[in-house]
Chain A
Amino acid sequence: MIEQNFEPKIVAFCCNWCSYAGADLAGTGRLKYPENVRIIRVPCSSRVEVQMIMRAFQNGADGVMVAGCHPGDCHYDTGNYHTRRRMMLLQSLTSFLGMEPDRFIVKWISGNEAAKFKSTVEEFNETLKKLGPADKVRDQRCGI
């Protein structure tokens, strides 16, 4: 049963050049979004390892987002293309594990898309609220 007032936990891996800057701009523009998101700064979305995402789920994340520059706009030329391919594979892996695939999203958010950052977090938060807590791969030892 879905518990009342469930507040999902979101872990967002954001690339330093686009998505992290977009989140910063959301701050500068005083856009409001849910507190549930925790951003981990990475130089490029291609730095993110599948392990890191799975560990986040094991540790109690209800949703994980990887956000990078728009394809073609990567600060490092091609990084986000690698991200795209790698994360597509992970997406199928999450289904294989019996997790809802909607718990893991990959988004392209540029440095000026503060509004997109806000709306992405809001929408993701709503999706996760409907899905309820993610416990399929949660490490019970964490006691969460």
Chain B
Amino acid sequence: MRVGVFICWCGSNIKTMVDVEKVAKEAEKMPRVVYSQDVQYLCSEVGQADISKAIDQHKLDRIVIGACSPRMHESTFQQLLESKGLNPYYVEIANIREQCSWVHTDKDKATVKATELVKKAVAKSYHAIPLTSDLLKVNKKALVIGGGIAGIQAALDIADAGYPVDLVEQKPSIGGRMAQFDKTFPTLDCSACILTPKMVEAATHENITLYTYSEVENVAGYVGNFKVKIKQKAKSVKQDICNGCGDCMAKCPKKVANEFDEGNSKRKAIYTLFPQAVPNKPVIDRDSCIYYQTGKCGLCEKICPTNAIDYNQEDEIVENEYGAIIAATGFDIKDPQDLSEYYYGNHPDVITSLELERLLNASGPTSGKVIRPSNGKTPEKIVFVQCVGSRDRNKGNAYCSKVCCLYTAKHTLLLNEKFPETESYVFNIDVRTGGKGYEEFYERARHKGAKYLRGQVSKIEPLGDADNKLLVRGYDSSIGEQVEIEADLVVLATSIEPKVGASKIAGLLGLSSDSDGFFSEAHPKLKPVETQAQGIYLAGVCQGPKDIPEAVSQASGASAKAIILFNKGEVKSVPTTAMVNEEVCSGCMQCKPVCPYEAISREYVTERVAGKEVKRPVASINRALCQGCGACAGLCRSGAMDLGGFTSKQIMAEVDTL
């Protein structure tokens, strides 16, 4: 065995805190190390060439790298080894950057630690065994979770590439948040006008199947071969028979708050989400329906001309197989009632931006008339409050919600257009306009008269006058004074948060989330649409706040990744799978129930014992199913089960060097 050790400077990242030359020197003394070198940038072409040359010159068959985290560059070095005809699993990495130079302050101690980490990796390398992957077939069908603009775009792109897509949406209609918006910045396109054609295209596309009013129940399997259970909630209306005439909705006696209008209007218990809903056929909301609550009524059944009402319909579970999954679960907004200084919930004229969006919308609760909810009159003075729960580490979310600056500018412009006499005041921390045409749009809003005050609102309270106006107290830092504005309407730009239930989806898909609950991408710069779970991609705000163009771009990116996977048609299986030593295995099968992938089964080996042939049970691994967690190896009582890449010998060798 001939081990070569390479210690990376990572420019100054490692070198300033670790004496890399000394580590390389120390490594030379380690058993079986025949070559050692420090290199300025190991991951660069030059660095790789150095390793390549050393492999040839010194006939190296094990490589130990002291560099950054294996999570960063393990595959880079594995590919290099493969190109040199060595098994990619003959490389070991000592993480001397993330776990050493970056977290320690004493150079001597850090150097000693780096040397020990290298020693540990060298010891592990002795026991490396060659591992190979198998090629697995990919099921060329995609699942998109979430029917907002990101989900729709992703589904359309994959479908246009010729692959079937299932689009799952929990609401009765696709369209998502964008369907609630009135206009879009910075072009002031009518949101519905650009969205509804896409919704219809998705619904009528031959390669897309819509599952509305549905939820993902269970996800099993792995890249190329996911098995997914989808629960289709009972719509109580036979969708194939219903012609969408709407008579039932007109006659239904039960009214409840309309979530699509942010609670500012009423809908019936049998309803479509909004007039342009896709599919445009109603569902019965059983929690509100009189028939389901009391057994009386049944009016919709009587009135329906096509006999489409079916009170006895049941939830249905569909099980499908997919090769790739795109999560596009979108967002919710923070409830401003948590932030008492804004008085939201205590006065009808304090509303959220999304509520204003519905007021502005021609198909909204007021047919596009902006009114004071308290008295129905047109507001004259409107105060907009930015960063409500955003950029607020103490009471809200630390992050910037990204879209609020622009949509508030949009609101002031739209109000100015409709009611030129209104005055708009915008309290802001600072205005962020990163995006094509966004700065110009913001300037336009200011030129049209929106007054921007730099400072935060400290308190909103009723003025106590006959008109029931609001008094907004804030601080204007540009003039260094407290300001008070008597407002007719206050609009809160509330923080964007991950969809309620996103953590459940993350759990089902095996995704990790960041500390704010948004799904984590595999790499923040170079793998922004991929996740750590192979074959699962991200699109839209479920990954972090973004505007429509960004959500759409990411959706196309995610769909491209799925299409690449489908075009290849096969994926490499995980090489670090479990292995059974049949001679030692007692066939107790304790390993079977701990395997989350059902990769372990009982097989029989035939042996000759005392001259007789006997069959003996042993555990057997299905390598295509095994994902390499090692739960079985950790548990095995007879030490028969082991895990490639992390064998007991390898780990013990690491422990022994400590």
Contact = CB atoms under 8 A, between A and B. Distances in A.
Interface string A76-111: 111100110010000000000000000000000011
Given A38-B117, A77-B596, A32 B103 contact: yes
Given A17-B512, A40-B655, A82 B98 contact: no
Contact of A82 (B95, B106, B631): B631
Nearest to A9: B658
B594 A46 contact: yes
Contacts of B535: none
Contact of A43 (B576, B594, B596): B576
B507 A43 contact: no
Interface stretch (B125-133, B250-258, B326-334, B643-651): B643-651
A48 interface: yes
A27 B512 contact: no
Interface in B26-73: 69-71
Contact of B628 (A40, A41, A43, A60): A43
Interface in A41-92: 41-44, 46-49, 51-52, 55-56, 59-61, 72-73, 75-79, 82-83, 86
A9 B658 CA distance: 9
Contacts of A27: 69, 97-99, 102-103
Contacts of A33: 103
B513 to A, nearest CB: 8
B71 to A, nearest CB: 6
Given A27-B69, A39-B99, A86-B634, A61 B629 contact: no
B74 to A, nearest CB: 10
Contact of B651 (A20, A38, A40): A40
Interface string B522-560: 000000000011000000000000000000000000000
Most-contacted residue by chain A among B102, B117, B120 (CB, 10 A): B102
A46 B512 contact: no
Most-contacted residue by chain B among A49, A51, A55 (CB, 10 A): A49
A110 B635 CA distance: 23
A125 interface: no
Interface string A16-27: 111011011011
A86 B656 CA distance: 22
Contact of B71 (A9, A16, A26, A35): A16
Contacts of B106: 35
Given A24-B69, A27-B103, A47 B655 contact: no
A28 interface: yes
B635 A86 contact: yes
A11 B646 CA distance: 16
Nearest to A42: B646
B105 interface: yes
Interface residues of A, number: 50
Most-contacted residue by chain B among A30, A77, A82 (CB, 10 A): A77
A46 B634 contact: yes
Contacts of A20: 69, 71
Nearest to B72: A24
A75 B532 contact: yes
Contact of B120 (A17, A38, A48): A38
A26 B514 CA distance: 14
Nearest to A56: B655
A24 B98 contact: yes
Given A39-B99, A47-B646, A112 B520 contact: yes
Contacts of A86: 634-635
B70 to A, nearest CB: 7
B104 interface: yes
A75 B512 CA distance: 8
A31 B638 CA distance: 42
B110 interface: yes
A79 B631 contact: yes
B110 A30 contact: no
B631 A46 contact: yes
B515 interface: yes
Contacts of A9: 658
Nearest to A28: B98
A11 B658 CA distance: 8
Interface string B297-312: 0000000000000000
Contact of B655 (A11, A41, A43, A113): A11
A73 B532 CA distance: 13
A23 B507 contact: no
B658 A42 contact: no
B99 A23 contact: yes
Contacts of B69: 20, 24, 27
Given A24-B69, A27-B99, A30-B102, A42 B651 contact: yes
Contacts of B658: 9, 11, 38, 56, 59-61
Most-contacted residue by chain A among B116, B631, B645, B658 (CB, 10 A): B631
A46 B69 CA distance: 21
A59 B631 CA distance: 24
A73 B507 contact: yes
Nearest to B650: A40
Interface in B496-521: 506-507, 510, 512-515, 520
Interface in B102-160: 102-106, 109-110, 112-113, 116-117, 120
Contacts of A24: 69, 71, 95, 98-99
Contacts of B110: 35
Nearest to B574: A43
B97 to A, nearest CB: 6
B507 A76 contact: no
Contacts of A38: 113, 116-117, 120, 658
Contacts of B576: 43
A107 B652 CA distance: 21
A42 B116 CA distance: 18
Contact of A52 (B98, B532, B645, B651): B651
Given A38-B120, A48-B634, A86-B634, 9 more contacts: A24-B71, A26-B103, A38-B658, A42-B646, A46-B634, A52-B651, A72-B507, A73-B506, A82-B594
Interface of A: 9, 11, 16-18, 20-21, 23-24, 26-28, 30-33, 35, 38-44, 46-49, 51-52, 55-56, 59-61, 72-73, 75-79, 82-83, 86, 110-113, 118
20 contacts: A11-B658, A24-B69, A24-B95, A26-B103, A27-B97, A31-B103, A32-B105, A35-B113, A38-B117, A40-B651, A41-B70, A41-B95, A42-B651, A46-B594, A59-B658, A60-B658, A75-B532, A76-B629, A77-B596, A112-B512
Give 9 closest A-B pairs by Cβ, nearest first: A27-B98, A47-B630, A76-B629, A46-B631, A77-B596, A27-B102, A44-B629, A24-B98, A35-B109
